[in-house]
């Protein structure tokens, strides 16, 4: 059973500390979302979990094994795959070439054709455009390709950093529907997302990151009802706050 634990981690960029004593847990089968303002440390936390920005203090455990000093390729081999903010596709390569690049571990290469068929089932548009250059796809199609490329690595834990960035609301809805399907197929998801409402409606549990610290956690439903979350991230106020003065 997959279990990810970040235990009291501190992460810095030079002299600037970006994460202060962050602790979180993700269990097998969950969708866990990170919400918080820009600059709160969500991307840094995702990079730390993915092996791209190791903590200088604290531990990251995967299935009980300390992995906070592992390189990113070692974590991919263990099933931890990051889809970074901005997608980072190979724009001049075709859709098929991008997908094939995702299956670079020995395990993934053995089942490349089978996994590719599954990706095309999830994203039929990628099959239709397999010979098209990735850079010529729409923003939504590029995000589908980024997710598809990650699935080619056969992840157990899928990390997504701001997948809705720059996309139209209808496209975001489609992407989130796919994430729900992927999770139902057995992939655990850790999601950093600015669209707090849609993310919380998708997730099982949530953490709030503010100024590099965890300021709140709970089930997604608890977060949707919490006054602080409603005011800060859902654009809502309580009836008493919105009532005019007598």
Task: State in Å, rounded, how far the first CA of the chain is from the last one.
Answer: 58
Of 29-38, 49-58, 205-214, 231-240, minimum mean pLDDT range: 231-240
Q: What percent of the chain has pLDDT over 90?
A: 88
Helices (H), 28-138: 42-49, 72-77, 95-102, 106-110, 112-122, 124-128
DSSP letter at 245 equals P
Instruction: Determine how many CB atoms are found less than 10 A away from the CB of residue 103.
Output: 22
Nearest to 140 by CA among 165, 115, 120, 122: 165
| Residue 81: closest CA among 105, 54, 65 | 105
Cα separation, 179 vs 198, in Å, equals 12
By DSSP bridging, strand 157-161 and strand 188-192 are: parallel
At 4, the pLDDT band (50, 70, 90 cuts) reads: very high
What sign does the dihedral 83-88-94-98 (CA atoms) show? negative
Which residue ranges make up each domain of the chain?
28-55+76-237
Confidence class for position 245, pLDDT limits 50, 70, 90 = very low
Q: What tokens appear for 72 in the block? A: 């990113």
Residue pLDDT, tens place only, 121-164:
999 999 999 999 999 999 999 999 999 999 999 999 999 999 99
* Predicted local distance difference test score (pLDDT) of residue 240: 45
197 vs 241: which has the higher pLDDT: 197
Long-range contacts of 116-123 (CB under 8 A, 24+ apart): 116/152, 118/151, 119/148, 119/151, 119/152, 122/148, 122/151, 122/178, 122/181, 122/182, 123/147, 123/148, 123/178
Question: What's the CATH superfamily of 28-55+76-237?
Answer: P-loop containing nucleotide triphosphate hydrolases (3.40.50.300)
Q: Is the pLDDT of residue 230 over 50?
A: yes
Range 98-116 average pLDDT? 95
């Amino acid at each position: 059973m997959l279990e990810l634990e970040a235990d009291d981690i501190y992460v810095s960029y030079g002299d600037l500390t970006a994460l202060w004593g962050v602790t979180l847990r993700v269990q097998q089968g969950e969708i866990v979302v990170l919400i918080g303002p820009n600059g709160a440390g969500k991307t840094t936390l995702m990079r730390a979990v993915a092996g791209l920005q190791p903590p200088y203090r604290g531990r990251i455990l995967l299935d009980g094994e300390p992995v906070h000093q592992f390189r990113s390729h070692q974590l991919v081999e263990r099933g931890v795959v990051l889809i970074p903010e901005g997608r980072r596709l190979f724009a001049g390569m075709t859709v098929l070439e991008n997908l094939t690049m995702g299956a670079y571990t020995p395990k993934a290469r053995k089942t490349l054709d089978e996994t590719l068929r599954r990706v095309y089932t999830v994203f039929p548009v990628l099959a239709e455009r397999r010979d098209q250059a990735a850079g010529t796809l729409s923003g939504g199609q590029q995000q589908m390709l980024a997710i598809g490329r990650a699935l080619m690595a056969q992840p157990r834990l899928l990390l997504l950093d701001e997948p809705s960035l720059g996309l139209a609301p209808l496209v975001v809805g489609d992407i989130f529907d796919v994430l729900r399907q992927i999770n139902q197929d057995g992939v655990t998801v850790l999601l950093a997302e600015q669209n707090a409402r849609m993310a919380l409606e998708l997730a099982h549990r949530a953490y709030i990151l503010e100024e590099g610290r965890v300021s709140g956690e709970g089930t997604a439903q608890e977060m949707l009802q919490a006054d602080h979350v409603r005011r800060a991230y859902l654009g809502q106020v309580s009836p008493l706050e919105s009532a005019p003065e007598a």
